[in-house]
Amino acid sequence: MAENTNDLTNQESNSSPEIQQKNVELKPETISKKDIMLAWLRFYFVNEIPHSFDRYIAPSLLWGLIPILNKLYKDPTELKAAYQRHLLFFNTQLSWGGGILTGIIASLEQTRAQEVYEKQPISISDDLIYNTKAGLMGALAGIGDSIDSGTIQYIFIAIALPWAKQGSAMGAIFPFVAFSVYQVLIGWYFANTGFKLGRRAATEVVGGTKMKSLIEGLSILGLYMMGIIAASYVKVSSTLKWTLSGKKFELQSIIDGILPGLLPLLVVAGVYFYFVKRGLKVTRALIGLTVILGVLAAIGIL
């Protein structure tokens, strides 16, 4: 009996190094800032490439996360499951939504991988990961579209318009390059913020006082730039002249004395209110504006 006991003890002691080695091999690796940057850049460059009707850009996010998932899950079964849960429907704006969610999901997956390795109860479930994406992707997309597409890109266009007017190629190149660099940098910042703060990142970005002030400032700047564009590049003037009691009057001179640029402002405001009332029907707006301006020019008002 003593010999059997010794044999079992010897077997356990002989196998323990193999078990320990296996545990070490399955241990998740540490995720670094470099990993987060790589994940964001991968997502950025393939954002719309695997776009599909049923998944939208979910494969893009998965492609971005693959290096991180490979470092976290050494068990092929767990790695396969991680790939599968990131192929469900996903769609958001590139830098604000994509950047923040890349970081948040990396943070959640890191916590889950550690729980799996330590055989703890799984608090970061598949539903929690997907619901986090589903709950934030729409809200972040709305903010990102209004700031990036509705403000930032037009600031770059306004800066480049004088170069384009002079025939310089920089007028076409600068907005594209500047906007791309801006999106890479701000997306990288958001990805790092999302990874450090986890699910709290969205609250910090969307609800934080500093970010609210930044968004408000960018909105004001965008409106200011739109005003500059309207005043500088929308050319509408009146040719109407008349004589009263032997004195000549010019409508354009009178308008300039009251508010220079009033006619271009009225045209832009008219198009804006048309879009508000009738929707973004660009072709109808262009045809209608052409007809109205043509009639006013024919009768000598413009």
Q: pLDDT tens, 212-264?
A: 565 566 556 556 666 666 666 677 777 777 777 677 777 777 777 777 777 77
E strand or H helix at 243, and its extent? Answer: strand 241-244
**Average pLDDT rounded to a whole number, residues 17-32:** 69
Question: Closest by alpha carbon to 65, among 50, 51, 86, 46?
Answer: 86
Final residue before a domain boundary, out of 181, 203, 229: 229
| The pLDDT value given to residue 117 | 87
Q: Within 10 A of 56 (CB to CB), how many other CB atoms are there? A: 18
E strand or H helix at 149, and its extent? Answer: none
- Asked whether the whole model's pTM tops 0.85, one would answer no
Indicate whether 155 and 268 sit together in one domain. Answer: no
Domain-located, residue 206:
yes
**Average pLDDT rounded to a whole number, residues 28-39:** 91
- Burial level of 37, CB count in 10 A (0-12/13-18/19+)? middle
Torsion of CA 148, 153, 154, 158, to 10 degrees: 150
Indicate whether 87 and 185 sit together in one domain. Answer: yes
Indicate whether 39 and 169 sit together in one domain. Answer: yes
DSSP symbols for 54-113: TTBTHHHHHHHHHHHHHHH--SHHHHHHHHHHTSS-B---TTHHHHHHHHHHHHHHHHHH
Across 51-65, 157-171, 204-218, 288-302, which has the greatest mean pLDDT? 51-65
Least confident of 39-48, 108-117, 157-166, 284-293: 284-293
> Which has more confidence, 215 or 198?
198
Domain-located, residue 2:
no
Indicate whether 64 and 165 sit together in one domain. Answer: yes
Domain-located, residue 13:
no
Q: Within 10 A of 10 (CB to CB), how many other CB atoms are there? A: 10
Per-residue confidence band for 178, with pLDDT thresholds at 50, 70 and 90: very high
Indicate whether 38 and 171 sit together in one domain. Answer: yes
Indicate whether 121 and 269 sit together in one domain. Answer: no
Domain-located, residue 138:
yes
The total number of structural domains that make up the chain: 2
Final residue before a domain boundary, out of 208, 229, 250: 229
Q: Answer yes or no: is pLDDT of 301 > 90.
A: no
Structure tokens at 266: 């009225």
Question: Closest by alpha carbon to 105, among 131, 79, 133?
Answer: 133
Indicate whether 217 and 244 sit together in one domain. Answer: no
Distance of CA 45 to the CA centre of its chain: 13
Question: Closest by alpha carbon to 145, among 196, 91, 105, 195?
Answer: 91
Per-residue confidence band for 149, with pLDDT thresholds at 50, 70 and 90: confident
Residue 68 forms beta bridges with which residues?
A: none
E strand or H helix at 144, and its extent? Answer: helix 126-144
Indicate whether 150 and 204 sit together in one domain. Answer: yes
Indicate whether 164 and 279 sit together in one domain. Answer: no
| The pLDDT value given to residue 167 | 84
Question: Closest by alpha carbon to 105, among 66, 137, 65?
Answer: 65
Distance of CA 281 to the CA centre of its chain: 25
Q: In the chain, what percentage of residues exceed pLDDT 70?
A: 78
Indicate whether 160 and 210 sit together in one domain. Answer: yes
Its domain, for residue 289, covers 237-298
3-state secondary structure of 241: strand
E strand or H helix at 242, and its extent? Answer: strand 241-244
Are 118 and 145 in contact, with CB atoms under 8 Å apart?
no
Per-residue confidence band for 203, with pLDDT thresholds at 50, 70 and 90: low
Final residue before a domain boundary, out of 202, 229, 256: 229
Indicate whether 170 and 58 sit together in one domain. Answer: yes
E strand or H helix at 118, and its extent? Answer: none
Are 96 and 215 in contact, with CB atoms under 8 Å apart?
no
Euclidean distance between CA atoms 104 and 96, whole angstroms: 12
> Which has more confidence, 52 or 223?
52
Domain-located, residue 19:
no
Indicate whether 208 and 261 sit together in one domain. Answer: no
